[in-house]
Amino acid sequence: MAEADDSGGAKSRGMFGLTQATALIVGSVIGVGIFNMPYSLAAFGPISIVALAVTTVGAVALALMFAALSRRMPADGGPYAYARVAFGNGVGFTGAWSYWITAWAGNAAIVTGWVYYVEHFVNARHLAGWSIVIALVGLWVPAAVNLSGVRNTGMVQFWTTVIKFVPLAIISTVGLLFADSANFRPWNVSGQSDLAAIGGAMAIALFSYLGVETAAVAAAKVRDPVRNIPRATLTGTLASAVVYLLSLIAVFGVVPTADLAEEANKASYTVAANAMAGGGSWAGDLVALAVIVSGFGALNGWTMICAEMPLAAARDGLFPASFGRLSSRGVPAAGIIASTAFASVAMVVSFMGAGGATVFNTLVLMTGITSAIPYGLSALAQLKWRVRDGRRTHTPRLLRDLTVALLALVFSALFIWYSRNTGESEWYLVWGPYLMAGAAFLLGVPVYLRTRTRMTDPGPVPPYPLNPGRRRP
């Protein structure tokens, strides 16, 4: 296990302090998912606001859990490291491979949604060939930034995070003043029961919270990880949650659900901004530009995360050795390039198979499946360790940690269950997220068979930190 510590060695020279680590969380969580969510959720109606609220509870539970786990074990790879130490190399590989799929497939989904806003200015007819070209630019330019070094990655992440908050802050505050209560009726337009509609919408909403664990994954790049990772995780998640909930209420209140569902209005926040401005396109143009910057920042951060999990796994012998080597710039170039290549393939395949919301939703739901696995494994690790702690002696926050881990486990299972394209009629579209996730998992079988003979033994479980707010000696 490659653990990040504060002992003064190479691992302590992380480039991210608390501000940058928080920006990594916010920048990874707030990408383009929230900006495209109203279009994707229009099939369910304003009841999606309830789904987002429930999803927020799960996201906060995950944030609390990862904050607690990172205090105990601030290790490179985050969820992968927890699963490996708790359950062995086989489970650790499953968690690492699943999270890696989440990262690069998530980038494919982000760039697909990002294209919606770029096409507000170019390729207005949404020709698939040009959409693919735009998406490839959106994937490979952030890859080039990451290949140039950690300092550049952190700088881009900070400033894009600042810029992306502007449209969300305006719409989540001023936008509420323009909301019309009539637009919240009918409440549920899905044709399903309220419970089924909430569950289906939750699976899509989860994508907008992917990233609450990114500071834990990038532990090697965070200074004083015992203190900064938990603080960044909680602060970043809560800040994102507030603007998410308020802005979604505003968009559904400003734009009728039927209008949000139209293909021409898939850049939902642009449509809402224009409606708030009383017509014209200048407000929407500004929002579209901010979303383009936001998406670029999310792609920048997730491209780094795409390589961090394989880097940690490769150093433990679970991934091919090439993923564990650093370039002259000090970055895992093989992981960055391979992840971006896989994201490019997933994006192209999705564009070839369907169009509109189906492309975005299929990739989103696929990441819901693959992210729920390492999330669930992390929850099981926390439950195992805290139950053991409780048997030995009553440690601080025992009941809270057990409750949070159990809640995170339940949410992980629910996200897998509801990750179906319920709005589609063809079976291959309904089950498309599972088919794509299954195919991606099969690619991991030969990798596991090749590396299992050189896997190192997991380290011991670190003791529970009795003073988690203080720096380790």
pLDDT per residue as tens digits for the range 396-423: 788 889 999 999 999 888 878 877 766 6
Residue 75: φ, ψ to 5°: -105, 150
Give the number of domains in the chain: 1
pLDDT at 352 over 80: no
Q: Is 467 left (phi over 0), alpha (psi -120 to 50) or beta?
A: beta
- What CATH number is attached to the domain comprising 186? 1.20.1740.10
Residue 236 lies in a domain: yes
CA 46, CA 57: separation in Å to the nearest integer?
A: 18
For the residues 311-315, what does the mean pLDDT come to? Answer: 90
Residue 7 lies in a domain: no
The token duo for 424 is: 């589609």
Residue 70 lies in a domain: yes
Residue 244 lies in a domain: yes
Residues 318-344: tens digit of each pLDDT: 999 999 999 888 889 999 999 999 999
Residue 443 lies in a domain: yes
Residue 56 lies in a domain: yes
My answer on whether omega of the bond before 142 falls inside 30° of 0, hence cis, is no
421-428, long-range: CB within 8 Å, 24+ apart, which pairs?
Answer: 421/358, 421/361, 421/362, 421/365, 422/190, 422/192, 422/196, 422/200, 423/43, 423/190, 423/200, 423/361, 424/358
More confident residue, 32 or 238: 238
pLDDT at 454 over 60: yes
Residue 314 lies in a domain: yes
More confident residue, 349 or 393: 349
Residue 457 lies in a domain: no
pLDDT band at residue 162 under the 50/70/90 scheme? confident
Q: What is the pLDDT of residue 169?
A: 79
Residues 22-46: tens digit of each pLDDT: 877 887 777 766 777 888 888 898 9
- Amino acid 76 reads D
For the residues 4-11, what does the mean pLDDT come to? Answer: 38
* Structural domain containing residue 380: 15-452
